[in-house]
Amino acid sequence: MARLLESKKAFNAEVNQYEHNSPTLGCVMKFSVINGGSGSDEKLPVIYWLSGLTCSDRNFIEKAGAFRAAVENRVIIVCPDTSPRGVDIEGDSESWDFGKGAGFYLNATQPKWAANYKMYDYVTNELMEIIEQTVKTNGKKAIMGHSMGGHGALTIALRNPGVYTSVSAFAPICNPMQCPWGNKAFTGYLGDDQEQWKAYDATEQMKGMKAAPFDDILIDVGDKDNFLTAGQLLPENFKAACDQVGQKCSLRMQPGYDHSYFFIATFIEDHIKFHKQRLAN
């Protein structure tokens, strides 16, 4: 059972933070929830939000300004942390793009990390079960995320057909095998065999699809995003893979926007509406 740590009200939404013992990750984990239906008995759909590098369960809550849209669209938004937290492994705090705050939503296979760094299993199994016990949901799910969390949302949605009605992302790392962040993380967590990396690469996953899994995939990227220009995101590679399999991908290059939560706050309502339309069917 999750333990309630804090409860706030914002724009009529209930904004709660919980902690629970995670057998999957071998430590205590926190997660935050925006309940857009607080005060009613209505069972609502859940949108999972996966954050990016250096984030905890709080960045989206404090910076995305998603409360009003959650209430207006009657959805629950669940924000997990981005890596195991309650465990110390040598080297987990040396850099901001590996270890703590940088779990990459995968199951590590390298001995040093394999016991705890299982964010893929955590998000797809354990967290979902805890949410069903903790919040009144109608069982419908969607997933979205930012940067490393956009990578997580895309790969998790593509690898779990039928579980999520829709997927969207802000500035996702679309082809981690081909970018410095992905190379560093995958080498560290998964080892040198690049065949093993493909399971966690959205572009590779999409290339392997026999048919389009979603009616549309919404992706926003700011054209002033310094990580885009540094070749960390590679949305054009994902879009090309989508075109190859006939998957519609609404990739919107947003002029003037960067990688930050100012950009996310600007377009979060569009993403919530995109999911709500599909969750309502």
Ligand X SMILES: N[C@@H](CCC(=O)N[C@@H](CS)C(=O)NCC(=O)O)C(=O)O
Site for ligand X in 226-255 (CB under 6 A): none
**What are the beta bridge partners of residue 169?**
145, 219
CB of 147 to ligand X, least distance (A): 3
Q: Among 48-56, 103-111, 132-140, 153-161, which window interacts with ligand X (CB under 6 A)?
A: 48-56
97 or 126, CB closer to ligand X?
A: 97
Q: Among 29-37, 46-54, 71-79, 183-191, which window interacts with ligand X (CB under 6 A)?
A: 46-54
Site for ligand X in 67-96 (CB under 6 A): 96
Answer for which of 59, 73, 155, 237 binds ligand X (CB under 6 A) is 59
CB of 82 to ligand X, least distance (A): 9
Residue pair 49/122 in contact by the 8 Å Cβ criterion: no
Q: Among 11-19, 47-55, 64-72, 244-252, which window interacts with ligand X (CB under 6 A)?
A: 47-55
Residue pair 37/12 in contact by the 8 Å Cβ criterion: no
Return the closest-CA partner of residue 101 out of 58, 155, 142.
58
Question: Rule CB under 6 A: is residue 147 a binding residue for ligand X?
Answer: yes
Tokens 């914002």, located at residue: 10
Pairing of strands 217-222, 27-35: unpaired
Question: Rule CB under 6 A: is residue 52 a binding residue for ligand X?
Answer: yes
User: What does 37-99 look like in DSSP terms, one character per residue?
Assistant: TTTS---EEEEEEE--TT--SSHHHHHS--HHHHHHTT-EEEEE-SS--S---TTTTSBTTBB
93 or 260, CB closer to ligand X?
A: 260
As annotated, the active-site residues are 147, 225, 259
Return the closest-CA partner of residue 155 out of 205, 191, 215.
205
Binding residues for ligand X, rule: CB under 6 A, are 52-55, 59, 63, 96, 146-148, 259-261
